[in-house]
Amino acid sequence: MPSSEPTGAETEDRDGPESGDRETVVPMRVYKAVTVFSTLFAMVGAILGFALLDSATNRATAELSEVNVVLAMVGVASILLGAGVYAFATRFRAEEMGNAKNGDDEGSHNG
């Protein structure tokens, strides 16, 4: 795959507006903040979600009737939210930087 150089456009849609490949260029300092905090969010969301899921299902040992459905749903939602925040954050990148998600920062330097 040819590496896509930054075209100078602030944002670019690779394959039209409906594809999920939108990229947004932000200053380096902002990129760092996005990376750090979105990762933090994803971790907290996933850990908290599994903890909630555990307590709702009594560590997956509860009978179906004893499962706290609301709490379980909140747990799943928390995991999804964490994952969503992380996935969303992958569209941001700093100037002159390939998108890690698409492997743009790694050319094929033949070994």
Partner 1 sequence: MSLEKKDEHDHRAWMEERDLTPIEKSFLVSLLWLDKRFRIVDYLELLENLYYKSNLQMPKSHTEQYNLDNKFWYWYPLYSLGFFSTIAYVVAAVSGALLGFYYAPATAGETAAAYDQVIYIMTDLNFGYMLRSIHRWSAQVMTAAVFLHMLRVYFTGAYKEPRELNWLIGIVLISLTMVFGYTGYLLPWNQLSFWAGQIGVEMALSVPLIGEWAAQLLFGGFTLGQPTLQRMYILHVFFLPFVVTALIAIHIGIVWMQGIAEPH
Residue 45's nearest CA partner among 21, 81, 15 is 81
Query: Mask: binding to partner 1, 31-70, rule CB under 8 A, as x and -?
Result: -xxx-xxx-x------------------------------
Which contiguous run of DSSP H or E holds residue 32? helix 28-56
109 is a site residue for partner 1 (CB under 8 A): yes
Whether the CB-CB separation of 56 and 72 falls below 8 Å is answered with yes
From the list 28-36, 48-56, 59-67, 75-83, the region that binds partner 1 by CB under 8 A is: 28-36
Q: Which of residues 86-105 bind partner 1 (CB under 8 A)?
A: 88-89, 91-92
Type of residue found at 54: D
| Residue from 10, 66, 95, 96 in contact with partner 1 (CB under 8 A) | 10
Non-local (6+) Cβ contacts of 26 within 8 A are 34, 92, 93, 94
Strands 11-12 and 92-94: unpaired
- For partner 1, the binding residues (CB under 8 A) are 10-11, 24-27, 29-30, 32-34, 36-38, 40, 88-89, 91-92, 107, 109, 111
